[in-house]
């Protein structure tokens, strides 16, 4: 049997769909989305629901079949969502059982065994008429028929293609005047719907693995970003918006005001300012100095001690990201926390691009946080309160993100 896909959440509270053991320590296990610090489950795995003890339990334990989410606290227990039913918060690939399912008037999930399974996604309560089709099919008279031609994602009631298959990471197709799907001509193109010969969107690289992206050349073609350190250069292949962060390199990158990616050469620095002359965050084992550089921690006998003046065997102050657990003993704060006291779970200040919420550090979820312009955010993570570099960006009260100061176009 295929391993159950899980909805996981790391310490930054960013949700991602992937198999994970992150929530194994939550009460009862089988948790998909959890608060690791409080060991509290927020969302159960597919096929599970909360019981009266707040634990995740199999829906089938209550005799509920083909169910994605269920409520086992009620009597009788009931299914909240059947497998295969499209929803904005659950990828269909995780919940599709391979055949159409419908929810009967009694709340139970049943297989659409009276319709042709090919192309049918959901059916009516009788189980005999299809109500929604998979991509590549269209609905007519309660049945699903395949769209004309190959690589078609959506089509009209006559079977003529209206939208071709596109992918952020793979081959994409454009729609010709004859309503046929043709492979986008330009390498690195992820959308060419209007004209297969001209690309409308280029492929972004993956910053976390150091993958180079593609950008427009102004003529409908996609070219590799001019800098090999650039992951995103969507509008202009010569100007970068997001630099790569190669996990195998100890040398970080930074984005200049002119849209170039360069290596940060400040010793011990994890994140450079836009000028490359100062550091905004130091690596472990270093501390940020008054002139915004990084100094190596002194060699105190106590591990991770920052200040042991007058007594090398003792400790007056722990290094950033550590707290004094006991006299002369420094322990690590929770993940993403810069300063904590008392105890690892009582954070006072978070690292760059994270906001403080009830003692925990959560990823700033603002419009521009992806581009690392948001330095600090408020308690609900939706509004940025401090941007960096501060001389280039400011918080926007309308969007909650960071916007650039009005500067001459020649500067940016």
pLDDT value of position 134 = 84
Give the confidence band of 156 by pLDDT, cuts at 50, 70, 90. very high
Least confident of 67-76, 332-341, 346-355, 397-406: 397-406
Q: Are residues 23 and 64 in the same domain?
A: yes
pLDDT value of position 167 = 79
Query: What Rg, from alpha-carbon coordinates, does the chain have?
Result: 26
Q: Are residues 242 and 218 in the same domain?
A: yes
Looking at 159, 180, 202, which one is the last position of a domain? 202
Domain limits for position 81: 7-97
Q: What is the mean pLDDT of residues 292-315?
A: 80
379: alpha, beta or left, given left = phi > 0 and alpha = psi -120 to 50? alpha
With respect to residue 334, please indicate whether it lies within any of the assigned structural domains. no
Q: Are residues 11 and 64 in the same domain?
A: yes
With respect to residue 126, please indicate whether it lies within any of the assigned structural domains. no
Q: Are residues 197 and 258 in the same domain?
A: no
pLDDT value of position 123 = 86
Q: Are residues 35 and 81 in the same domain?
A: yes
Q: Contact 161/152 with Cβ under 8 angstroms?
A: yes
Is the confidence at residue 30, as pLDDT, over 60? yes
pLDDT tens, residue by residue, 327-373 = 888 898 888 888 888 777 778 888 777 777 666 777 776 544 333 46
Percent of the chain with pLDDT over 90: 10
Q: Are residues 15 and 85 in the same domain?
A: yes
With respect to residue 277, please indicate whether it lies within any of the assigned structural domains. no
pLDDT value of position 39 = 52
With respect to residue 315, please indicate whether it lies within any of the assigned structural domains. no
More confident residue, 116 or 327: 327
Q: Are residues 405 and 381 in the same domain?
A: yes
Q: What is the mean pLDDT of residues 16-32?
A: 48
Q: What is the mean pLDDT of residues 309-316?
A: 74
Is the confidence at residue 397, as pLDDT, over 90? no
CA–CA dist 359, 283 (Å, integer): 22
- Using DSSP's 3-state secondary structure scheme, residue 29 falls into coil
Average pLDDT, the chain: 76
Is the confidence at residue 93, as pLDDT, over 70? no
What is the per-residue DSSP string for 113-181?
Answer: TTS--TTEEEE-TTSSSEEEE-TTEEEETTEEEEPSSSSEEEE-TTS-EEEE---SSS--EEE-TTS-E
Whether omega for the bond prior to residue 389 falls within 30 degrees of 0, making it cis, is yes
- Using DSSP's 3-state secondary structure scheme, residue 94 falls into helix
Give the confidence band of 240 by pLDDT, cuts at 50, 70, 90. very high
Is the confidence at residue 8, as pLDDT, over 70? no
Percent of the chain with pLDDT over 70: 75
Structurally, the chain folds into a number of domains equal to: 4
pTM reported for the whole predicted model:
0.52
Q: Are residues 219 and 242 in the same domain?
A: yes
Looking at 202, 218, 248, which one is the last position of a domain? 202
With respect to residue 363, please indicate whether it lies within any of the assigned structural domains. yes
With respect to residue 43, please indicate whether it lies within any of the assigned structural domains. yes
With respect to residue 23, please indicate whether it lies within any of the assigned structural domains. yes
Is the confidence at residue 319, as pLDDT, over 70? yes
Give the confidence band of 215 by pLDDT, cuts at 50, 70, 90. very high
Q: What is the mean pLDDT of residues 117-124?
A: 80
Q: Are residues 18 and 91 in the same domain?
A: yes
Q: Are residues 12 and 46 in the same domain?
A: yes
Give the confidence band of 102 by pLDDT, cuts at 50, 70, 90. confident
Q: 402 forms bridges with which residues in the sheet?
A: 395
Q: Contact 373/255 with Cβ under 8 angstroms?
A: no
pLDDT tens, residue by residue, 241-300 = 888 876 556 688 898 988 899 999 999 888 888 888 999 888 877 888 889 999 887 778
CA dihedral 216, 221, 222, 224 (to 10 degrees): -90
pLDDT value of position 248 = 55
With respect to residue 70, please indicate whether it lies within any of the assigned structural domains. yes
Is the confidence at residue 406, as pLDDT, over 50? no
- Using DSSP's 3-state secondary structure scheme, residue 202 falls into strand
Looking at 60, 78, 97, which one is the last position of a domain? 97
What is the per-residue DSSP string for 142-154?
Answer: TEEEEPSSSSEEE
Is the confidence at residue 75, as pLDDT, over 80? yes
Q: 326 forms bridges with which residues in the sheet?
A: 329
- Using DSSP's 3-state secondary structure scheme, residue 230 falls into strand
Q: Are residues 212 and 196 in the same domain?
A: no
Q: Are residues 15 and 80 in the same domain?
A: yes
pLDDT value of position 139 = 92
């Amino acid at each position: 049997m295929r391993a159950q896909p899980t909805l996981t959440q790391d310490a930054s509270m960013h949700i991602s769909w992937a198999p994970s053991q992150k929530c194994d320590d939550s009460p009862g296990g089988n948790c998909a989305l959890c608060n690791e610090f409080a060991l509290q489950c927020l969302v159960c795995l597919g096929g599970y629901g909360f019981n009266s003890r707040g634990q995740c339990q199999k829906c089938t334990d209550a005799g509920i079949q083909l169910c994605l989410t269920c409520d086992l606290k009620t009597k009788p227990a009931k299914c909240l969502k059947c497998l295969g039913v499209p929803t904005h918060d659950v990828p269909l690939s995780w919940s599709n059982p391979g055949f159409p399912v419908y929810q009967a008037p009694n709340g139970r999930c049943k297989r659409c065994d009276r319709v042709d399974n090919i192309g049918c996604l959901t059916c009516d309560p009788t189980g005999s008429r299809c109500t929604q089709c998979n991509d590549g099919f269209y609905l007519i008279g309660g049945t699903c028929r395949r769209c004309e031609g190959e690589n078609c994602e959506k089509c009209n009631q006559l079977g003529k293609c209206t939208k071709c298959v596109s992918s952020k990471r793979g081959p994409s197709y454009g729609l010709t005047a004859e309503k046929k799907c043709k492979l986008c001509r330009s390498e690195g193109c992820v959308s060419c719907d209007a004209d297969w010969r001209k690309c409308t969107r280029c492929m972004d690289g993956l910053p976390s693995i150091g993958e180079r992206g593609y950008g427009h050349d102004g003529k409908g073609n996609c070219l590799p970003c001019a800098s090999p350190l650039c992951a995103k250069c969507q509008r202009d292949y010569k100007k970068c918006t997001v630099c790569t962060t190669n996990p195998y390199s100890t040398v970080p990158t930074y984005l200049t005001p002119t849209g170039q990616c360069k290596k940060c050469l400040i010793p011990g620095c994890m994140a450079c300012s836009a000028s490359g002359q100062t550091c905004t965050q130091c690596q472990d084992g270093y501390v940020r100095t008054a002139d915004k550089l990084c100094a190596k921690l002194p060699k105190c006998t106590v591990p991770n001690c920052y200040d042991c003046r007058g007594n090398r065997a003792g400790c007056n102050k722990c290094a950033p990201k550590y707290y004094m657990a006991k006299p002369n003993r420094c322990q690590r704060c929770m993940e993403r926390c810069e300063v904590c006291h008392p105890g690892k779970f009582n954070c006072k200040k978070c690292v760059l691009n994270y906001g403080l919420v009830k003692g925990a550090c959560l990823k700033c979820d603002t419009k521009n946080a992806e581009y690392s312009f948001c330095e600090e955010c408020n308690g609900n993570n939706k509004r940025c309160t401090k941007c960096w570099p501060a001389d280039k960006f400011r918080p926007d009260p309308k969007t909650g993100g960071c916007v650039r100061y009005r500067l001459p176009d020649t500067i940016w």
